Amino acid sequence: MEINVDLHSHSGYAGGVGDISLAALALSMKKKGIHVFGTGDCLHPSWNAKLRESLEERETGLFALKEGGENRQARFILQTEIIITAETAVSPGRKNVHCVFLFPSFEAVSSAVALLESWGVKNTIGRPFLKCEGPDDVGAKVVKLLELDPGIELIPAHVMTPQGVFGSANPVNRLCDFFGEAARKINAVETGLSADPVVLDLIPELDELALVSNSDCHSAASNRLGREFTAFELDELSYRAILDAIRARRVAWTAEFNPGEGKYFLSGHRAGKQGHDDGYCVFSPDKTPPDRRCPICGKPVTIGVLERALEISRTQGADRKLQKESKRKFIHMVPLSEVIAYGIGVANPSSKKVAALYERVVQALGTEIELWKVAPATVREVLEGVVPREVIETIVEIKSDNFTFEPLGFDGSYGKLVVGRTSPWFGVSTVKMPEKGRGELF
């Protein structure tokens, strides 16, 4: 059976996240086509209590809502993000690395909480900080966490973004540069919204690891939950079956957020920074200024995912070039609610008008995921008369790869969808000077 899993999320106890209900998550899972979902923040006392109160184990290591009603098929895995922080010998300052941890049981979660608290970790936010001295200390502590239960798994999160292990914030070029001896315990890494298998194929160290995709969502909204996911072909539905597939690197395929839409794809400085006002600059790797400084404010630009991947490739001795395809099976998706909003000319993908049209599409096709698996001709046939023609044609154009993002995502800003034309990832160089303040290049 093919199972779609999204194993990285956050509860309302994570910073910048509003209140989230398990029932709302289960409903969105059904519409999206996600079978198994990570609970997020399972170490946090209040969210942990809510999980214990609301969930019951159905299959070994998988949980369902006690009162699921129509959404009783939704399954949850106990999951959290831990931010591990340490100094490295490779770059100055402390590096904060976001890591996904999966747990097979509430007992394993309780053991992890006790161990973290013995190290002085304050378990007061959804994603706690584990402070370490350096890579040796990171390795020792992570190994102790994993040894609490053979079913606990570590997956470095969104590995190429600034908060990922390979990201531009205090960069390292090999997993062991940060994780020490725990690097050998890593079976998979998370691609993140600004990278996909094509980008990660640039890095030799990842050749033998599984690539998994998760939404890292902070809400149950249709354009957040399931915007990335991983498909596994399993003989049975259980935590152990999913874990074995990850560890054996048996990923059927992944669904990827288009990297061009991701917030850290290219290098640059977004508008709103000090001295920028509405000015911004964005560069593909072949166009970044040699000194990597912003032509508007003079400070170092935020180096994007694509540039970092090429840099790591050279550091690891490969100097690989970007290819059009990957040896890994994957598809690109654009969140359907964003597609609908674009088609009808609405800025807010969470508007009531968009939500109503989203419901019609999902009812016609079964799930949002199904939309990305069927041919464009099928889309036209099934949706004719169901939604406005401009929505159908926008979906078809995107499924036909006749779209781009302008500008592409950079420095914390999502790429802006443009349908009807394409543009390359390389050769991009845009400097929009601010209307106020400094008005010349230097």
SS3 assignment, position 299: coil
**Domain end residue (candidates: 233, 261, 289):** 261
pLDDT at 436: 66
Q: How confident is the model at residue 93 (pLDDT cuts 50, 70, 90)?
A: confident
Share of the chain above pLDDT 70, in %: 98
Q: Report pLDDT digits (tens) over 269-310.
A: 999 998 898 999 999 999 999 999 999 999 999 999 999 999
Residue 354 shares a structural domain with residue 255 = no
Same domain, 342 and 225: no
User: Burial level of 298, CB count in 10 A (0-12/13-18/19+)?
Assistant: exposed
DSSP letter string, 193-251? TT--HHHHTT-GGGTTSEEE----BSS--TTTTTSSEEEEE-SS-SHHHHHHHHHTT--
Q: Over the stretch 403-429, which tens digit does the pLDDT of each residue have?
A: 999 999 999 999 999 999 998 899 999
Rounded CA separation 112/103 (Å): 9
Domain total for the chain? 2
14 & 133 share domain: yes
In terms of C-beta density within 10 A (0-12 exposed, 13-18 middle, 19 or more buried), how is residue 67 classed? exposed
309 phi and psi angles, rounded to 5 deg = -60, -40
- CA pair distance 329, 196, nearest whole angstrom: 11
Q: Show the tokens assigned to 273.
A: 């920074």
Q: Each residue of 211-221: pLDDT tens digit?
A: 999 999 999 99
143 and 28 in a common domain = yes
Q: Does residue 152 lie in a domain region?
A: yes
Strands 229-233 and 2-6: antiparallel
Angle (CA) 254-398-369 rounded to 5° is 40
pLDDT of residue 183: 98
Q: Do 257 and 341 belong together in one domain?
A: no
The rounded distance, in Å, linking the Cα atoms of 309 and 352 is 40
365-395 pLDDT tens trace: 999 999 999 999 999 999 999 999 999 999 9
pLDDT at 32 over 50: yes
261, 257, 301, 259: which is closest to 430 by C-alpha?
301
Which single residue is written with the structure tokens 């999966």? 102
Based on the domain organization, do 257 and 352 belong to the same domain?
no
Q: Is residue 241 part of a domain?
A: yes
Mean pLDDT of all residues belonging to the chain? 94
Residue 416 lies in a domain: no
Tell whether 102 and 247 lie within a shared domain: yes
In 10 A of CB 207, how many CB atoms?
10
Pick from 368, 333, 9: nearest CA to 158: 9
Q: What is the end-to-end Cα distance of the chain in Å, rounded?
A: 59
Q: Does residue 71 belong to any structural domain of this protein?
A: yes
Residue 408 lies in a domain: no
Assess whether 348 and 241 both reside in one domain.
no
Q: Is residue 412 part of a domain?
A: no
pTM of the model: 0.95
Cβ-proximal residues to 28 (8 Å cutoff; 6+ apart), any chain: 34, 220, 221, 222, 225, 226
Q: Which residues contact 95 (CB under 8 A, 6 or more apart)?
A: 85, 86, 87, 88, 169, 170, 172, 178
- Structural domain of 78: 2-261
Q: Pick from 217, 234, 261: which residue ends a domain?
A: 261
In a domain, 358, yes or no: yes
Q: How far, in Å, CA of 375 to CA of 393, rounded?
A: 13
Q: Is the pLDDT of residue 16 over 70?
A: no
- Cβ contacts of residue 248 below 8 Å, gap of 6+? none
Alpha helices in 147-209 (DSSP H): 176-179, 197-200
Q: No. of H helices and E strands in the chain?
A: 13, 18
Q: Quick one: pLDDT band at residue 439, thresholds 50, 70, 90? A: very low
Each residue of 136-169: pLDDT tens digit? 999 999 999 999 999 999 999 999 999 999 999 9
Whether residues 101 and 200 fall in one domain:
yes
**Token couple for 135:** 């890579």
Ordered alpha helix ranges (H), 9-149: 22-32, 45-54, 106-118, 135-146
Residue 164, in any domain of the structure: yes
Which CATH number fits the domain that encloses residue 246?
A: 3.20.20.140
Domain end position, chosen among 261, 289, 324: 261
